[in-house]
Chain A
């Protein structure tokens, strides 16, 4: 395939997504409904993991190491502002990968744009992100912090995070069809990735020579933006916002292209 026909092919796949928008909508609502039926406390389980991490790291960093006070804000809130968006990406990708390969039967029988599967999971998981972000002001009040309207900027940050997430989800859902152990790899990879992202520490603590790692990390700047908005009540600088937006565009594009390079394999393997 030449560059031009490849481009035309990908544009056609984008149009397919639009044509099947009703399928996306219906998958989202049925995923939400299935979850409501099978887990009465679905969101509680979702929240448990980041809450546990926040508790552990607060004990370790503040209690044992005696650090973390230089943030000027209660350390649990500092963690929470990045841990919740991180948990969203983590869970949405995990669920996206498993839903995609659980639909192998459908893929073998019906010709629908397979990219709708990771997309619909990201959308249905975003309900939890919204709930989690709504919990933040409650936690802030509990720690005696004031609220400000600037924190509402977390809402427009959500679509950026979701775009990054769907790109990562497309990438790993397709990688599953190359390597069947992708799901197991993901658990380890995400743990490592979290420590390489400014989740339990602030980017300002990182020495300059390591910054290149963070600049290549698609999750880095969106996490910085969430923290600036939620914890420091500030409007993120144009550089951070620009970097987060660029990460979203690049990640979604790479994920989408890789997904469609691998797609011909999907229906053939069992």
Chain B
């Protein structure tokens, strides 16, 4: 069983994507593959993560850095148990690690209030737990009477605000963040940031994927640097981040201001 001083640990973790399958397998393609194209099959395998080892203790915040396509999001998906590993294992102590996402599982035809319930139900909350959550979420979202309107009448900003409000009230043991979440106007952003900080305090451990150097440096206690799906470095934030930037500096133009980066709202 998990030892007490480990919140998240990966042991020889590997995730493989079959590129032929991601194209969508049809009967025709499968038949073609069975008849003659077997030789080509091995080339279609791509390891999004391979031989990944790390471990963090309770209370720690892990920052994951690396270029696009280095496997950062895949790592979060494996920890969130959305996809299973093909090699090795991830060990997580705590209940249902949750990927903080905006508005996954929303239905256009349902009202804002109904979508809050549906979203919370997808996350595994019981009826009782949802009843307790619903009022703070409604209040936090500041959507007022729009909560009784179907989601299709919402603007993109309102939708993101509703999704974010649900996300920051779920209080998971293991908090997983992909990119810096930031939606709404300045007031709402400030409120969101405070709420996120509270969540971090309560969470048992946290994993953040971000391109914002300041954000990673400010909050993380460990940093994992991924390159082409493998661990390039793992350790103290200052050292790893400095090495990472030293290695990429020749391909990089001057960094944009921190504020600009934080305004990126990833809605997936």
Q: Which residues of A contact B157 (CB under 8 A)?
A: none
Q: Which residues of A contact B124 (CB under 8 A)?
A: 19-20, 23, 112
Inter-chain contact A181/B27, CB cutoff 8 Å: yes
Give residues of chain B (163-185) contacting chain A, Cβ–Cβ below 8 Å.
none
Inter-chain contact A34/B107, CB cutoff 8 Å: yes
The secondary-structure label for the interface of chain B is loop
Most interface-central of B28, B117, B150 (chain A CB within 10 A): B117
Q: Which residues of B contact A179 (CB under 8 A)?
A: 25-27, 30
Q: Which residues of B contact A268 (CB under 8 A)?
A: 17, 21-22, 83
Interface size of A in residues (CB-CB distance below 8 Å): 31
Asked, given contacts A30-B114, A180-B24, whether A267 binds B83 with beta carbons under 8 Å apart, the answer is yes
The secondary-structure label for the interface of chain A is helix
Assembly CA distance A109 to B106 (angstroms): 12
Inter-chain contact A109/B268, CB cutoff 8 Å: yes
Q: Smallest distance from the beta carbon of B225 to chain A beta carbons, Å? A: 25
- B33 contacts partner chain A, Cβ-Cβ < 8 Å: no
Render B21-60 as a binary contact track against A, CB cut-off 8 A, 1 for contact: 1101111101000000000000000000000000000000
Inter-chain contact B84/A110, CB cutoff 8 Å: no
Q: Which residues of A contact B24 (CB under 8 A)?
A: 180, 269
- A26 contacts partner chain B, Cβ-Cβ < 8 Å: yes
Assembly CA distance A73 to B176 (angstroms): 65
Assembly CA distance A181 to B24 (angstroms): 9
Q: Smallest distance from the beta carbon of A16 to chain B beta carbons, Å? A: 9
Q: Which residues of B contact A270 (CB under 8 A)?
A: 22
- A265 contacts partner chain B, Cβ-Cβ < 8 Å: yes
Partner of B110, one of A34, A103, A110: A34
Partner of A106, one of B25, B104, B110: B104
Most interface-central of B28, B121, B125 (chain A CB within 10 A): B121
Q: Which residues of B contact A30 (CB under 8 A)?
A: 107, 110, 114, 118
- A14 contacts partner chain B, Cβ-Cβ < 8 Å: no
Assembly CA distance A38 to B110 (angstroms): 11
Q: Which residues of A contact B202 (CB under 8 A)?
A: none
Assembly CA distance A178 to B25 (angstroms): 6
Assembly CA distance A20 to B122 (angstroms): 8
Q: Which residues of B contact A195 (CB under 8 A)?
A: none
Inter-chain contact A108/B27, CB cutoff 8 Å: no
Interface size of B in residues (CB-CB distance below 8 Å): 37
- A207 contacts partner chain B, Cβ-Cβ < 8 Å: no
- B96 contacts partner chain A, Cβ-Cβ < 8 Å: yes
Assembly CA distance A3 to B82 (angstroms): 24
Inter-chain contact A264/B125, CB cutoff 8 Å: no
- A40 contacts partner chain B, Cβ-Cβ < 8 Å: no
Inter-chain contact B27/A26, CB cutoff 8 Å: no
- B6 contacts partner chain A, Cβ-Cβ < 8 Å: no
Q: Which residues of B contact A37 (CB under 8 A)?
A: 109, 150
Q: Which residues of A contact B28 (CB under 8 A)?
A: 181
Assembly CA distance A103 to B106 (angstroms): 10
Inter-chain contact A110/B122, CB cutoff 8 Å: yes
Render A5-48 as a binary contact track against B, CB cut-off 8 A, 1 for contact: 00000000000000110110011001001100110000000000
Inter-chain contact A109/B101, CB cutoff 8 Å: yes
Asked, given contacts A110-B105, A178-B25, A179-B26, whether A22 binds B82 with beta carbons under 8 Å apart, the answer is no
Partner of B122, one of A19, A23, A264: A23
Assembly CA distance A19 to B98 (angstroms): 17
Inter-chain contact A108/B110, CB cutoff 8 Å: no
Asked, given contacts A26-B121, A38-B109, A267-B77, whether A110 binds B83 with beta carbons under 8 Å apart, the answer is no
Closest to A270 in B: B22
Assembly CA distance A59 to B161 (angstroms): 58
Q: Which residues of A contact B87 (CB under 8 A)?
A: none
Q: Which residues of A contact B122 (CB under 8 A)?
A: 23, 106, 110, 112
- B89 contacts partner chain A, Cβ-Cβ < 8 Å: no
Render B74-106 as a binary contact track against A, CB cut-off 8 A, 1 for contact: 000100111110000000000010110100110
Inter-chain contact A109/B82, CB cutoff 8 Å: yes
Closest to B99 in A: A109
Inter-chain contact A269/B22, CB cutoff 8 Å: yes
Closest 6 CB pairs of A and B: A23-B121, A111-B81, A109-B104, A34-B109, A180-B24, A109-B101
Sample of 7 more A-B contacts, CB < 8 Å, known A26-B117, A37-B150 = A23-B124, A27-B121, A33-B114, A34-B107, A108-B77, A110-B98, A270-B22
Residues of A within 8 A of B (CB): 19-20, 22-23, 26-27, 30, 33-34, 37-38, 103, 105-112, 178-181, 185, 264-265, 267-270
Subset of 8 A-B contacts with CB under 8 Å:
A19-B124, A23-B124, A38-B109, A106-B104, A106-B105, A108-B82, A110-B82, A179-B30
